[in-house]
Structure 1
Amino acid sequence: MNPTATHLRTIALHWTDLRTALTTTGTTTWPPAGRMSDYLTALDHADEQLAEAARWQAAYNRQYLDRDPNQLGVTRPPLSLTIVDTMRAVEAALTQCADDIARTAQRPPMAMPTARRAAYASQREADIAHGDRQRQAVLARADLADPRRWRHTGRRSAPHAALWLLARIEFKPGPCRRLTHDEARRIGIVAEGAAERVERALDIAAQRVALAQACACGGRIDMHGGEGRAPVAHCTGCGRVWSESGMAAA
């Protein structure tokens, strides 16, 4: 399957999930911060730090749930700023890409017929000319209103842009010529970056990163997670494994 098409479908299909996630606070960052990072910065006493952090988090959660929302003090934001930033960046990138592709690949609307004052040899010829202008006007209005036409005003959402670009990649019918190699490549780059942002914000993609912190044995520590899974770190040297639930034996 065309990877660009897959990325564009990912954006269109998961846009509703992003809207839902706006009012939640469970979105994760990668690499995970907080307990996991603290744990890895002090491997010698990681178990004690992890347990203490878990107790603190549980106490905070209870305190938050017991709070009166009208009380003064620190409260959780009403919207997830990570999701807001993701949606704004993705929408801006996709609509700008669609603007640029439409500017070069989309055919201008058909021109409306102009009124003609010409002398006709007979009424029949005049009627035929009038009928031709009417048909041209109908075709021009239909072409202008074609829902397959990308517009620089009005409906300019990220999912609409993703689906319009998808139609161009898949050579669907519409008021556009076939894309050039450079145009298809441009869409591919934008779609890949946008889909990666969406997947990372929703934590639906597998993630892997090498941490700057080295293991006590000197080996590199790799962290794996994403796709809704809790992060797990392991040393590529001695084989030790760490997770939020504790350290496993090598």
Structure 2
Amino acid sequence: MGKAISKDGTVIGYDRTGHGDPVVLVGGALCDRQVHSGLAEFLAPHFTVFNYDRRGRGESGDTAPYAVAREIEDIAALIAEAGGSAALYGISSGGALALEATAAGLPVTRVAAYEPPYLTSEADAAATARQTDPVPGLIRDGRADEALEHFLGATGMPAAAVAEMRTTPAWSSLVAVAPTLVQDFAVMGDSTVPVERFAGIRVPALLLDGSAGMAFMHDAVLAVASAIGGARTITLPDQTHEVSVDALGPVLIEFFAEP
């Protein structure tokens, strides 16, 4: 495992595999770098892949106070480790973070995002806010398990499924990383597409979603692509938010390998 040092001194842990032009993988909410281990292996014959733990997760530190700018500096540190420029891929809120890092002017060559969970409907935004507003307070009060329940409910997971998940060994791991949800909320802002910032993205951009996923994700992809001049969109057949490597990998290889 490698270690990059972010601008504020935070240690960012990452795995480096493969050879070729560098690609940095950015995970979403509740995820450490293991979420992209299969994708990293798939891409490694074609690219040098930097698969990292976002701050507060896995082998990375979490220096206070948090700000989205610190996460962008983390990506900058990884790009420096990669030689000074790199392509970015992120999923869910990690996709939003990859787009924010690109909009901030980091030396990004290309950026791809899978289902960044922006909301284009006022009704959806209001409903989501009602479910997620308690989360930061619950985390401050040390009630991470309840915060996790609220978040999972906001993603559309039925209460029965959440109750079942509580009985699995994975639940304690999710509770342990639940405090980082406030970071993902900060990345997403008010959950609307930051049109003015994304209009400043000048590198090739690819927005992806799955045909079997939630309709609002498709709307989000179209809205983000509309904000970025020349961005492309692809809907992967039969895929949900938990996209398979076999469906996603070949599309990313083609996009990142373009001259």
TM-score, normalised to structure 2's length?
0.22
**TM-score of the superposed pair, with normalisation by structure 1:** 0.22
Q: Which has the higher strand share?
A: 2
